[in-house]
Amino acid sequence: MKAEIVAARDVRVELGGHRVLDGVALTASPGQIVAIAGENGAGKSTLLRCLAGLQTPSSGQVHVLDGPPVDAAGFWREVALVGDEPAWYPGLSVLEHLEMALSVHDGGRLSAQAALSAFALDGRADQHPLTLSTGQRQRLSLAMALIRPSRLLLLDEPERGLDADFRARLGDLLRAYAADGGTVVMATHDRDLATACGARLVTLEAAC
């Protein structure tokens, strides 16, 4: 079996005096897609934040790539995160945002033009992101994560705002990423998306 990219064991997180995660375990290897399901408040986003090095667990071990996750440049070269909507650059168009993502990472997975097409943003290239619809902006966020090279994709409800057709297309895009050896860990409420991309489903129970 290939070395694990993500290994979380016995993770506990307390926030505001409440136990949010308790004894949580999760593993993911190259080529795998893991979908984290669970009711609102179960702790899916909190677990993703732990994997991204943005939340330190109260106890337990989290190992991502070569060690504990750290919010540092070397880590983010290998890891792409899509969570809350990013702050869009003033004055830069959709196409220029894609070109910027390519320019700061060596060796893109797609050209900016190919990404426009893959993420159904043809005809939107010259617009500023804030003039797009909610779902179109989510497609751009996903495009900026998938256009660049990475070994691990962390996605928090990637289906947010997407129509049914694009959710199906997203399943194909994630499958292709995993087929190239990438690892995906996503929190999702969309079981169809998880099934469409062949994800292993992990259900989180609320800690209390």
Ligand X SMILES: Nc1ncnc2c1ncn2[C@@H]1O[C@H](COP(=O)(O)OP(=O)(O)OP(=O)(O)O)[C@@H](O)[C@H]1O
Q: Is 208 in the site for ligand X (CB under 6 A)?
A: no
Find the part of the chain contacting ligand X (CB under 6 A) among 41-49, 93-101, 117-125, 127-135.
41-49
Q: Is 29 in the site for ligand X (CB under 6 A)?
A: no
Q: Is 46 in the site for ligand X (CB under 6 A)?
A: yes
- Residue selected from 1, 40, 73, 208 as contacting ligand X according to rule CB under 6 A: 40
Burial class of residue 125 in the structure, from the number of CB atoms within 10 Å of its CB (0-12 exposed, 13-18 middle, 19+ buried) = middle
Residues 159-188 touching ligand X, rule: CB under 6 A, are 187
Identity of the residue numbered 104: V
Whole-number Cα distances in Å, 67 to 26, 47, 75, 156: 15, 16, 10, 22
Find the part of the chain contacting ligand X (CB under 6 A) among 33-41, 102-110, 145-153, 159-167.
33-41
DSSP SS3 for 56: coil
Q: Which two structure tokens, joined as six digits, stand for 176?
A: 């292709």
* Residues in the chain, overall count: 208
Least Å from the CB of residue 47 to ligand X: 7
Q: Is 90 in the site for ligand X (CB under 6 A)?
A: no
Q: Is 83 in the site for ligand X (CB under 6 A)?
A: no
Residues 2-21 touching ligand X, rule: CB under 6 A, are 15-16, 18, 20
Partner residues linked to 19 by β-bridges? 14
- Residue selected from 41, 103, 117, 172 as contacting ligand X according to rule CB under 6 A: 41
Residue 30 near residue 5 (C-beta atoms within 8 A): yes
Angle value at C-alpha 59, between 85 and 184, nearest 5 degrees = 40
For ligand X, give the closer residue by CB, 15 or 70: 15
Identity of the residue numbered 138: Q
Q: Which residues bind ligand X (CB under 6 A)?
A: 15-16, 18, 20, 38, 40-46, 187
